[in-house]
Structure formats: structure tokens, C-alpha cells
């Protein structure tokens, strides 16, 4: 077992060896280094061929036409291009956007920017289970709504939204539907041929590809029109200019090809690991899983250990690389906005840990994690005045706290 143990696959994944190998073939003088936009010589043609093969590989994973794939620098850019691109293009038709409170910052901040430009945004509340219901979207739709943006899988709690049902509602009203799928490719089957989704953001590095590359699915039927956000040489049919990074793109293609082949077995194996971890800690007192367990990707477990603060817990878990919803692990001093949107008390949000499992996680890793977590939680509860109060039967909500 290698220490520390990486259990933060939702943050990023290591590049698969097979992917790295393909990428290295596209860099040096002996490799496929040409500019895919060079039309006058073999170097350009070969690079273009590699890029188009990768485009097919990405399209294949999500059941799309390769002509519907636009390369970007990652899911953040894809989200920006989709939401700003469609909102700007349709600004004369309407200026209303619908999204949810638990989207990734790349969506929320994009919406904030559009608000500054005069657009109006409705932020839907998730259910306590962490889901956005189709009916909520239906109720929020207006005459002037031009785009709805709802994530497929949440990055903190791993919950899966019913994008087929939400999309059907949008399509019936002729409203564009964008899905941030950064956390779902290679984890949940996606078939764009059947899904009523117009735009879908993808990232390579969450699926064992390299950082710095992603893609945006831009549907052809019905045809999606958007305003470019990056101007230049007119690459990607004018939707996103900039020389295509062959090695990055080839890496994403290979990563998505592998995901398509191995997803089913891999997800089954990962689900067993998650269940093992949960079983290993669920007999402890005051342990809560955040978000629906039923509608959740296999690789995520977000869990609160009441009366223990998340950052100090992470400090005790020296052998584990994990994240916390605690304020203290971020610069903002606010606990996770996702957990708070679920209705969790600040205190349970502060006490949360996110374990995310992936391709290289082993049973031995999980067993070591269980032992460490149990020891750390017990130690910190011994140190916690809140735990004492809980044991004495004092309701913490009845105490007058001196907020600071």
C-alpha cells in the first residue's frame, strides 16, 4: 500500500498509463507534433487525423455525432461557452436563465456575470437528498427563459439528476438545456442520441485524461446556436478559436475510449469499495451520509461525523488525501454551499468529509481508511465539548452561542 492513499478522485484523477503513452507520441520532432490546422503538409494532416479520431472517441462514449464535439480547455470553459454563448445569442428573445444552487462554481459564477450584464437567473433549491426535480424546472420556466443549466452529477455529494426528464420539459417549451457532465463521464452511461440535452460539458481530467482539455457537446438536432466567447482563427467551426493541443486532445480521446470499454466493470468494483467504507463506519454514533445514496455515482461518499470539525479531522487523517466541506479548508471561512443548500446545519456541514474512489483504489486502501477514520473521530470526540454536551443529553440548538 502506498501512503498517503488518494481518495479524492472527484477533484482529479491520475492520467492512465495508456493515455500518457499516446500523449507522448504527439510532442517531439519524431512524434505527431504538427498543427492540426496546417493544410499544406503531412505534419498537419497527421495531427488533424489524430484530433478527429479523438473526437470520434469522445463522441462514442456519449452516443453523439463527432460533429457535435467542440474542444475546449476544460469543463469550466465548456460551461462558460454553453451558458454565455446561448444566453448572448438569444438575448433578444429573452434574458431569463434557470440553474440550481448546487452547481459547480463554473456555472454559478458564469450566471452571476450574466446577472451583471442584465440577465435574470433563477437558482433552484435542491431537495434534502440533493436532487433537482423536473417539476421544479417546469415551475420555474417562463416565456423569456432561454437556457436551463443543471448538472448531471454533483461534485461534492455525487447525486445524479434525472436529466432525461428535465430535458424533456425544456424541449417541450423550446428552451435550450445545458448539462455539466464533468463528474459523470465514465461513471454514468450517457446517450446523447436519446437524451433531450442540447449542450453537455465534459472534462478530461476527471476521467483519467490530462488536465487542461475538455469538450462541449453542441447538438445538431435541434440545432444549437451560440456566440463564440474566444475569437481568432475560426477553429472548431468558429465556436472556439485557438490552436488545438493535439497531445491533450489525443489524451482525452484515449481516456474516453478506455472509459467506454471499462466503465461497467469499474463502476461495479468501485461501488463495492464505497459500500465497504460505509459499512466500516456506519456503526459509529452520529454519522450521516449527505445526499441520496440511491441516486449517486459509485465513487462518492460524503459523510458527516457530528461534533467533530472537518479540518481537524483531515489533519488527523494524515495517510488519506480527501476533502472536507468545512469552512476551514477553504479561504472563505464559509462551509460548503452545497451541503448548506441541502438544509444541513452549518455544524454538520463543517463536520463533513468527501471520500471519492477510483480506478486505482484497493480494498486494502479502504480498510486502512476505515481504521484511521475511526481512530481520529474517537480521538477528536474526546476533545470535543459538543460531544460531551450531546452525551449529557443537551440539545445544542437550545444553547445560546456567542457567534463570532
Active site residue ranges: 328
Q: How many CB atoms lie within 10 A of CB 18?
A: 14
What is the smallest separation between the CB atom of 333 and other proteins, expressed in angstroms? Answer: 7
| Residue number, 166 or 344, with CB nearest to other proteins | 344
| Residue number, 186 or 310, with CB nearest to other proteins | 310
C-alpha 233/C-alpha 247 separation (Å) is 20
| Residue number, 119 or 305, with CB nearest to other proteins | 305
144 touching other proteins, by CB under 8 A: no
Locate cell 507520441: which residue? 25
Query: Are 342 and 325 within 8 A, CB to CB?
Result: no
39 touching other proteins, by CB under 8 A: no
3-state DSSP assignment of residue 321: strand
Question: Which residue from 261, 285, 346, 378 is in contact with other proteins, where contact means CB under 8 A?
Answer: 346
List phi, psi (to 5°) of 179.
Answer: -125, 125
Give residue 365's Cα distance to chain centre. 24
Question: Which residue from 35, 275, 286, 384 is in contact with other proteins, where contact means CB under 8 A?
Answer: 384
308 touching other proteins, by CB under 8 A: yes
Angle, CA 31 vertex, CA 30 and CA 34 arms, to 5°: 110
Q: Is 168 exposed, middle or buried (0-12, 13-18, 19+ CB in 10 A)?
A: middle
Cα–Cα separations (whole angstroms), residue 318 to 20, 126, 289, 304: 29, 33, 22, 18
What is the smallest separation between the CB atom of 241 and other proteins, expressed in angstroms? Answer: 39
Query: Are 200 and 59 within 8 A, CB to CB?
Result: no
Applying CB under 8 A, the span of 25-33, 133-141, 185-193, 320-328 interacting with other proteins comes to: 320-328
347 touching other proteins, by CB under 8 A: yes
What is the smallest separation between the CB atom of 346 and other proteins, expressed in angstroms? Answer: 4
Task: Return the C-alpha cell found at 169.
Answer: 420539459
Instruction: With CB under 8 A as the rule, give the number of residues binding other proteins.
Output: 29
Applying CB under 8 A, the span of 132-140, 171-179, 257-265, 303-311 interacting with other proteins comes to: 303-311
| Residue number, 144 or 346, with CB nearest to other proteins | 346
| Residue number, 64 or 344, with CB nearest to other proteins | 344
395 touching other proteins, by CB under 8 A: no
C-alpha 179/C-alpha 170 separation (Å) is 12
Nearest to 333 by CA among 315, 354, 304, 310: 310
Nearest to 245 by CA among 276, 204, 275: 204
Applying CB under 8 A, the span of 67-75, 229-237, 262-270, 327-335 interacting with other proteins comes to: 327-335
- Please give the residue ranges that form the binding site for other proteins (CB under 8 A): 307-309, 311-312, 315, 326-329, 331, 333, 335, 345-347, 350, 382-388, 396, 401-404
Amino acid at each position: 500500500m502506498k501512503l498517503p492513499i488518494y481518495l479524492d478522485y472527484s477533484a482529479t484523477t491520475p492520467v492512465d498509463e495508456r493515455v500518457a503513452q499516446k500523449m507522448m507520441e504527439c510532442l517531439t520532432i519524431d512524434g505527431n507534433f504538427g498543427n492540426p490546422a496546417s493544410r499544406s503538409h503531412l505534419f498537419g494532416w497527421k495531427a488533424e487525423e489524430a484530433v478527429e479520431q479523438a473526437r470520434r472517441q469522445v463522441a462514442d462514449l456519449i452516443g453523439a455525432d463527432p460533429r457535435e464535439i467542440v474542444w475546449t480547455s476544460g469543463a469550466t470553459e465548456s460551461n462558460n461557452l454553453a451558458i454565455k454563448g446561448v444566453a448572448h445569442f438569444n438575448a433578444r428573445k429573452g434574458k431569463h436563465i434557470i440553474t440550481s444552487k448546487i452547481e459547480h462554481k463554473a456555472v454559478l459564477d458564469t450566471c452571476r456575470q450574466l446577472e451583471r450584464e442584465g440577465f435574470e437567473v433563477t437558482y433552484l433549491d435542491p431537495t434534502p437528498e440533493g436532487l433537482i426535480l423536473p417539476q421544479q424546472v417546469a415551475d420555474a420556466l417562463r416565456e423569456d427563459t432561454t437556457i436551463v443549466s443543471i448538472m448531471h452529477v454533483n461534485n461534492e455529494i455525487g447525486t445524479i439528476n434525472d436529466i432525461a426528464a428535465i430535458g424533456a420539459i425544456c424541449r417541450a417549451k423550446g428552451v435550450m438545456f445545458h448539462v455539466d457532465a464533468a463528474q459523470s463521464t465514465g461513471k454514468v452511461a450517457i446517450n446523447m442520441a436519446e437524451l433531450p440535452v442540447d449542450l453537455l460539458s465534459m472534462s478530461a481530467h476527471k476521467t483519467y485524461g490530462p488536465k487542461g482539455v475538455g469538450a462541449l457537446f453542441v447538438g445538431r438536432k435541434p440545432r444549437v446556436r451560440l456566440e463564440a466567447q474566444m475569437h481568432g482563427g475560426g477553429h472548431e467551426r468558429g465556436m472556439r478559436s485557438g490552436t488545438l493541443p493535439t497531445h491533450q486532445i489525443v489524451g482525452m480521446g484515449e481516456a474516453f475510449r478506455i472509459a467506454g470499454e471499462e466503465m461497467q466493470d469499474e463502476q461495479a468494483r468501485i461501488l463495492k469499495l464505497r459500500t465497504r467504507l460505509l459499512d466500516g463506519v456506519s456503526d459509529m454514533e452520529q454519522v450521516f451520509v449527505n445526499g441520496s445514496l440511491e441516486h449517486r455515482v459509485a465513487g462518492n461518499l460524503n459523510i458527516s461525523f457530528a461534533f467533530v470539525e472537518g479540518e481537524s479531522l483531515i489533519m488527523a487523517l494524515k495517510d488519506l488525501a480527501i476533502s472536507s466541506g468545512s469552512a476551514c479548508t477553504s479561504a472563505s471561512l464559509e462551509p460548503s454551499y452545497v451541503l448548506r443548500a441541502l438544509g444541513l446545519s452549518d455544524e454538520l456541514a463543517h463536520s463533513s468529509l468527501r471520500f471519492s474512489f477510483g480506478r486505482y483504489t484497493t480494498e486494502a486502501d479502504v480498510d486502512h481508511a476505515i481504521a484511521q477514520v475511526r481512530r481520529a473521530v474517537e480521538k477528536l470526540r474526546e476533545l470535543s465539548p459538543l460531544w460531551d454536551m450531546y452525551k449529557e443529553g443537551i440539545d445544542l440548538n437550545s444553547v445560546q452561542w456567542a457567534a463570532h
